[in-house]
Structures are given as C-alpha cells and as structure tokens.
Amino acid sequence: MILAVVLFSSCYYVEQGSVLFRNRLAAQSRSAALKSADESRQEELERFFTGVERIRDFGVERLGLNDNGNYRKYLELDRDYLVAVVNAAAPDSLDPFLWRYPFLGPAPYRGYYNPEDAAREARRLRDKGYHVFVRKVDGFSTLGITKDPLISFMTEYDQFRLARLIFHEQIHASFWVKGHISFNEELATTLGDMAALEYIEWYYGTDSREYRSAEASIHDSRQFAADMRTLSRELEILYESFPETFSEKSPPASAAHPPSADRAPEQADEQAPESSHEQTPERASELEAARERILERFREQFRISYPERYEGDAYRNAPELELNNAFLSLYRSYSGRGPGYQALYERLGSVSAVLQTLETAMKDPESMNVTYRKGDDPYTIIEQLLES
C-alpha cells in the first residue's frame, strides 16, 4: 500500500503527517534498539534483524529491487497494526469511492493513525449511503519520501509473512506508475507473493515445511481472490439490472464539481462517483433484498465447499465478514486481474524478469512489440505480452 503522499493534502492531513514524522523520528537504529531492549528480548530482536537483512539482500541482489534504505530502523508500537484504512463504494456499484490527492491523484483508500478518525470517516460515508469497510494495515510505502522502519509487531511474523510484506512495499518503492493505483497494487500483490516464495525456496528449500506452508498460504489467498471475483461478477450483473438506484444523501461539493489541478487541496479532497439521478427508495430496497439473497447463497456454498478448496483455516470464517461493495472493491483493486500478472510471471520465470520487462515496455514499447502511450493503463502491456 502507498500512504505517505496521501497524508499531506490539507490541514486534516497535516495531523496524519505529523504522526508519520513523529514515528520516523522515534525509530531507532538496530544497534540502539538492541541496547535499549530488555535482555529477554535481545535474542529475539537479533534473529529478527538478521532475517530482515537477509530478505532485503535477496530483494536487492536477486530481484533487482531498489536498495533505498528502508527497514534499517526499528519502531516500538503498542499495537499490532500501523494505520486504519477506510474503503467505500456506492450500494449499487463495485467502483470504489475515490479520494483525490496532490501528486498521487485519485486513490480508493484513506489511512488514519488514530482509529477513531477512521471510524469518524466511516460514519460520515455511511451517513451518505455508502458501503464502508475499515481494515488494519501493517505496512505501507512512502515511495522514498521517508525511510520506512520495521515495526515491533513484525517480530511475530514468520519469514514468509515478513518477506511478503517487505517485498510488496519494496516493489512499490522500485516500480510505481503514477495515476494507476489498481495496477500498482495488483502488481505488488502478485509479485510480492512470488518474491516471498522465491526467497523461501532459496533459503529453506522446496522440501521444507516453510516452503509447503508458503505455497498453501498463496494457494488460499489466490482461491479467496477468485471467489471474490466470482461473487463480484454476480453482483455486477445484478447492479446492471438496477440502473439509477443510488444517489448520495448529501453530495459534497467535489461530487458536483470534480477536482482540478488549479483548485486548493482542501477543495479537491474527495471525488464521489457521479450520481445525479433521484433517490428511489423502493428500487433501493429491491436491490438490497436481491443482493442479500446472492450473499446468502454465496456464504452457504462457501462453507460447504471450503474443506475441498482451501488448504488452511485463514479464510474459514470469511462468511462472517461484511461482504459489502466496499470490501469487494478493495479486493478488486488488489487482485482483480491477478491471474494475468501470475501468467506473465510464469511465462518469464522470475520477479526480476517481470519488472525489467514492464519497465522496458513502458520506456520503449516498440522494442517489446507492444503499443503503449503515457497515460494508458499499464495492464494493456501485460495483455499484449500474453497474446504474443
């Protein structure tokens, strides 16, 4: 996830940005963290730092990721996550609600260090009629603006989970296409998984318990993403049969007047989906009832088929989640086109080859026999490469 640039676009974000920089200032060097740690924790921290350095070296030397100084400092936090992130979507669409930020452009999420602030934003959007999903995030990339630290709760992670997190964020720091959030997140999600698996294979071997566990974790995350795509397609068909159902209860100024580059950041703070039609409560109730029928059928089928389709228990309780449009739009942003990225990885054989190929294709498309112009969705490059 990319967060830093979205923390400074208004007075509101100055508060979030101040926490970011306080955390950066509070982060210690590894040697200082070891000296200040209780004796009972020093051995654990030493193992943790050694593992992180091994992962970083693998990313730089074998995957070609940038050696940008991230994860060289350590921050103690008294909780098991870094920020609370809000996602939203209209009740008749899987298109995400977008917040617009300077430099970054529109993004389908907003992060808060204070969970009460996240809850307040969630209530604001729910009051306008949106579906909302609030999640806890354990890491993000600042794209080189600051050096991202290790966080104390990461010491509980196994090597695969730690590598997955670090590689995801380092891929952001190494390869980022402005204005294409979904592409960046999908790419980092798929390649972060495969980079972590490459690392586990290199360090533990394919016959190890660690490798088998990592494979099972990736299998289940991909299976759940596929289930979310299937559910999303069914809901999209439903929504197409219910046109002009939703309009915001109190549209913000930015919905009527889309943000532009010459407006102040405070004015260009958010961009709601266009919804100029009248509210139709009866149709909205019909839509809600139809959606609930689809979700109930999905939940029942998911529970029944889970043992034969999943290898672990990580997603067993998924039917208990609020599977609303905000949740589904989030999954679409991170893995909606995941199979295409995976297919390119399998064709090219390594994370480094995928990143090098995409970078070359964007800079010199003719050399790769693809058509691409600045501003195009970079995913079209992947489609063309897979068709060739």
- Mean pLDDT along residues 318-329: 96
- The mean pLDDT value for 179-203 works out to 95
Residue the block writes with tokens 């992060």? 111
Q: Which has the higher per-residue pLDDT, 133 or 251? A: 133
Q: Which two tokens stand for residue 85?
A: 């992130």
Nearest to 88 by CA among 104, 72, 99: 99
* Res 270: pLDDT: 54
Distance, in Å, from the CA atom of 247 to the CA atom of 153, rounded to the nearest integer, reads 41
Half-sphere exposure of 364 (CA within 13 A, CB side): 5
Average pLDDT value for the chain: 87
Q: How confident is the model at residue 1 (pLDDT cuts 50, 70, 90)?
A: low
pLDDT of the residue at 282:
82
Residues in CB range of 212: below 8 A, 6 or more apart: none
Amino acid 269: pLDDT: 53
Q: Indicate if the pLDDT at residue 254 is higher than 60.
A: no
pLDDT at res. 266: 33
- Whose tokens are 């995030």? That residue is 137
pLDDT, mean of residues 338-366? 96
Residue 229 is which amino acid?
R
- The C-alpha angle with vertex 329 and arms to 182 and 304, in degrees rounded to 5, equals 125
Place of tokens 């630290």: 149
Give the pLDDT of residue 217. Answer: 98
- pLDDT recorded at residue 26: 85
Distances (CA, A) of 41 to 47, 152, 313, 382: 10, 11, 30, 46
pLDDT at 258: 29
268 CB burial (10 A radius; 0-12, 13-18, 19+): buried
- Hey, is 110 helix, strand or coil? strand
Question: DSSP string covering 6-72, please?
Answer: GG-SSHHHHHHHHHHHHHHHH-EEHHHHHHHS-HHHHHHHHHHHHHHHHHHHHHHHTT------TT-
Name which residue leads in pLDDT, 89 or 247. 89
Structure tokens at 108: 């389908």
Q: Look-up: residue for tokens 């979507």? A: 89
Q: Comparing C-alpha atoms, which of 326, 332, 375 is closest to residue 135?
A: 326
Strands 131-137 and 83-89: antiparallel
Poorest-confidence range of 96-110, 136-150, 166-180, 324-338?
136-150
d(CA 384, CA 68): 32
pLDDT at residue 23 greater than cutoff 90: no
Q: Percent of the chain, pLDDT > 90? A: 69
Tell me what pLDDT residue 271 has. Answer: 54
The structure tokens 């939940």 sit at 299
Higher pLDDT, 314 or 275: 314
Average pLDDT over residues 154-168: 97
The model's pLDDT over 276-318, given as tens digits with 9 standing for 90+, comes to 344 467 888 999 999 999 999 999 999 999 999 999 999 999 9
Question: How confident is the model at residue 178, as a pLDDT?
Answer: 86
Helix boundaries (H) for 248-280: 253-256
In the chain, pLDDT over 70 holds for what percent of residues?
A: 84
CB atoms within 10 A of CB 322: 10
Average pLDDT for 334-341: 92
Instruction: Tell me the backbone φ, ψ of residue 100, rounded to 5 degrees.
Output: -105, 135
Average pLDDT over residues 313-329: 96
The domain ranges of the chain are: 4-243+280-336, 337-388
| Band of pLDDT at residue 22, cut at 50, 70 and 90 | confident
Sheet holding 98-101, edge to edge: 105-107, 98-101, 270-271
Long-range contacts formed by 273-278: CB under 8 A, 24+ apart: 273/90, 273/93, 273/95, 273/97, 273/98, 275/90, 275/246, 275/247, 275/248, 275/251, 276/247, 277/244, 277/247, 278/247
In tens, the pLDDT along 82-105 reads 999 999 999 999 999 998 877 667
